[in-house]
């Protein structure tokens, strides 16, 4: 019979920068137990069926498949979200968008907020969970992504957020928002990083945006003024080396108070600007 500690010791040798964590998450998933159980009961034996299931997941991870896709779940902000292969995996760096948006208005405000390219709904759901008085809308052009975000909403029981099918602003005629956030595709179509790590398994439509990675950002910045209220804010995630270009695009489109903010690694990861009032 195979024990928990034996499985973990074997699995920790896989070719992954987070091998130990990967093994713990996958084994806890197979056993339907929290990770703490693995170290509380290291000498517990595992059934042959559980060993087989664990080894299958481990082999898929060894080939590079992201743990989030293997588990079907990913943590973001304070939320546990369902993920699928047709959506981008929410990442910790994107939480900077949430932090920055929350700093623009306090909990007593009643803003209308739009999340463009919502995917799993991570940004929209995080903002809705922190600001119950905000009316949040998340849109995505992929119908299955909209369905996934709606399912996450139901699981989290958040009533102040809705998800719609829309290719950026296409289905939002005559609507205005106080705040627009987006983590759009921003990788150049020939970027070598597309052949490395987890992104090999993520949908290209959520990653790639033209020769310099800025095609979708250009479109969003150009069209956003027609959907923002006076003094409304636009916040965009972008590549680590794109901040200067994005700030210039924002300024050319008439945004003021333009700035960039740094992520956990010290890179300028998001840029934002305010649409001035007509007066």
The backbone torsions φ and ψ at residue 182, rounded to the nearest 5 degrees and listed phi first, read -160, 140
pLDDT score at 143:
95
Q: How far apart are CA 28 and CA 148, in angstroms?
A: 24
Highest mean pLDDT among 7-16, 153-162, 204-213, 262-271: 153-162
Closest of 172, 176, 151 to residue 161, by C-alpha: 151
Residue 2's beta-bridge partner residues?
46
d(Cα 101, Cα 108) in Å, to the nearest integer?
Answer: 14
This prediction has a pTM of 0.89
pLDDT at residue number 197: 67
User: What are 92-137's pLDDT values in tens digits?
Assistant: 899 999 999 999 998 899 999 999 999 999 999 999 999 999 999 9
62: confidence class by pLDDT, cuts 50, 70, 90: confident
Q: What is the pLDDT of residue 202?
A: 66
Percentage above 90 pLDDT, the chain: 77
Positive/negative CA dihedral, 196, 199, 201, 203: negative
260 in the Ramachandran plot: left (φ > 0), alpha (ψ -120 to 50) or beta?
Answer: beta
The pLDDT value given to residue 193: 63
Task: Give whole-number Cα distances, 224 to 95, 138, 236, 250, in Å.
Answer: 22, 15, 11, 10
> What is the model's pLDDT at position 154?
97
User: What pLDDT is recorded for position 265?
Assistant: 87
Report the candidate in 43, 38, 1, 42 with the shortest Cα–Cα distance to residue 22.
Answer: 38
Mind listing the domains of the chain with CATH numbers? Answer: 2-63 (1.10.8.10), 71-274 (3.40.50.150)
The pLDDT of residue 94: 94
Residue 63: its pLDDT value, please? 86
């Amino acid at each position: 019979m195979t024990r928990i500690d034996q499985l973990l010791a074997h699995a920790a040798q896989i070719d992954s920068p987070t091998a130990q964590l990967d093994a713990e998450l996958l084994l806890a998933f197979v056993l339907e137990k929290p990770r703490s159980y693995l170290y509380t009961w290291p000498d517990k034996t595992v059934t042959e069926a559980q060993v087989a299931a664990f080894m299958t997941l481990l082999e898929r991870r060894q080939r590079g498949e992201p743990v989030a896709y293997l588990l079907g779940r990913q943590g973001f902000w304070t939320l546990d979200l369902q993920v699928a292969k047709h959506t981008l995996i929410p990442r910790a760096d994107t939480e900077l968008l949430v932090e920055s948006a929350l700093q623009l208005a306090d909990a007593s405000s009643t803003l209308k907020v739009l999340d463009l390219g919502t995917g799993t709904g991570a940004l929209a759901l995080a903002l809705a969970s922190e600001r119950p008085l905000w009316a949040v809308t998340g849109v995505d052009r992929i119908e299955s992504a909209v369905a996934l975000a709606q399912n996450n909403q139901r699981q989290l029981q958040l009533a102040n957020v809705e998800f719609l099918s829309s290719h950026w602003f296409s289905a939002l005629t005559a609507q205005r928002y106080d705040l627009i956030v987006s983590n759009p595709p921003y990788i150049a179509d020939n970027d070598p990083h597309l052949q490395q790590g987890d992104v090999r398994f993520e949908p290209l439509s959520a990653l790639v945006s033209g020769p310099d990675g800025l095609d979708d950002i250009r479109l969003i910045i150009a069209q956003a003024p027609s959907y923002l209220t006076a003094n409304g804010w636009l916040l965009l995630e972008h590549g680590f080396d794109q901040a200067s270009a994005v700030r210039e695009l924002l300024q050319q489109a008439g945004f003021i108070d333009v700035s960039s903010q740094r992520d956990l690694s010290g890179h300028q990861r998001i840029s934002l600007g305010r649409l001035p009032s007509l007066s």
